[in-house]
Structure 1
Amino acid sequence: MPLTNPWLAGPSPDQDLPRERLEERILNLLSTQNMAVIATVASDGSPAATPVRFYNLALEIMYTSWNASSKSRNLRRDPRVSVGIFAPLVGQASSRGAQVFGTARTLERDDPGADDYWEAFRWQSDHVERGRPVDEPPRDPLTIITPTRIVYTEHWLRRDGYKPRQIWRAPS
């Protein structure tokens, strides 16, 4: 039987991708997807996973959320978070995604440093869709997730002799 992607057959390579190339692949994923599942720790210790639309600034992920939402309440109590981001899956060769582990913080609009994130957050399309003026920025808080570890999976890396699951860690 002919194989469409013969490089998927056989044992998986075990070579690590150089850090700069891994960061480029992660940034490509973050820049080409806009939905993530954010997992927080509920008050009883159970996981609480919520889909959100996100944007990124470098490797940090950001989204808006009301302070009264369960995910915001969970993060105030315990800032640890896990995020799942993935590209649409057509087959094994297209498998591409990231598990992001880190901590979250919420910035109110007037907090120091918030403007840097709001400049990267594309809120204008939301305003247009909802009939709001684009010259009035949102007043919602912005949640920023800073990664400590990212598990990046891309089976296409096997073509070049790299293992399909790569680990990125924040510099110490």
Structure 2
Amino acid sequence: MPVTNPWLAGPAPTRRLDHDRLSERILNLLSSQNMCVLATTGPDGPLATPVRYHHLDFTLMFTAAPRSPKMRNIAADPRASLGVFAPLVGQASSRGAQVFGEARLLDRGDEGFEHHWSAFRWQSDHVERSLPLDEPPAGPLVVVEATRIVYTEHWLRRDGFAPRQFWRPAT
């Protein structure tokens, strides 16, 4: 029987991408998607919540209702993981990232709010919900700056690289 992707057979390569090339691939993924699954932990245990995100480099951002379970969990324990993934057609198309960091809530006037807010595209939500474009959302902006990313892309095997790569901010 013919094999569609023979490079997927056998043991996976172990070679690592250099930091710049890995960073570029991760940014491409973050830029080509807009949904992630946010994982937090609270008094009732783990919570995985789909959220629409925007990103500024390796920082993911979203807004949420202040009384939502995810916001209660973040207030109690700011550690967060966000799973970003491209649609899966088959093993060869497997591409995603687990982003780890601490969630911070930024309100207007807080240091860093304007910097992050400038990259947050809230206008499309307002158009979709028939809300006025001269009234931005009032709630806090949640930012998760990546301290570590586990990136998976099986297509990397074609070029002799490990399908799972590990990223940390450049020092």
One fold, TM greater than 0.5? yes
1:61 counterpart residue number? 60
| Deviation for aligned residue 1:93 | 0.3
* Matched residue, 2:39: 39
TM superposition shift of 1:103: 0.6
Q: Percent identity?
A: 63
Query: Counterpart in 1 of 2:124?
Result: 125
Counterpart of 1:23, as a letter, is S
Q: How does 1:1-172 map to 2 (within 5 A)?
A: 1-44=1-44, 46-171=45-170
> What is the TM-score when the length of structure 1 is the normalising length?
0.95
RMSD: 1.2
SS in 2 for 1:120: coil
Q: Deviations over 1:70-123 (max 9, x none)?
A: 111111111101111110000000000011111110111232221111110111
Q: CA–CA distance in 1 between the matches of 2:124 and 2:103?
A: 24
Amino acid at match of 1:47: P
- Output the amino acid matched with 1:33: Q
129-138 or 73-82, which moves further after superposition? 129-138
Alpha-carbon distance in 2 for matches of 1:109, 1:31: 25
Letter in 2 for 1:122: R
Question: 2 CA distance for matches of 1:54 and 1:32?
Answer: 11
User: Runs of 5+ in structure 2 lacking a partner?
Assistant: none
Q: How far apart are the structure 2 equivalents of 1:151 and 1:91?
A: 20
- Report the Cα offset of residue 137 of structure 1: 1.9
- Runs of 4 or more consecutive aligned structure 1 residues displaced over 4 Å after TM superposition: none
Measure, in 2, the Cα distance between the counterparts of 1:155 and 1:97: 10
Letter in structure 1 aligned against 2:43: S
Q: Could you tell me how far apart the structure 2 residues matched to 1:12 and 1:35 are?
A: 28
Gapped regions of structure 1 (runs ≥ 5): none
Q: What CA deviation, in whole Å up to 9, does each residue of 1:26-79 have, x standing for no partner? A: 1011001111110111124x2111110001000110000122111111111111
Q: How far apart are residue 171 of structure 1 and its match? A: 4.0
Count of residue correspondences: 171
Give, as a single letter, the amino acid of the residue that structure 2 aligns with 1:37: V
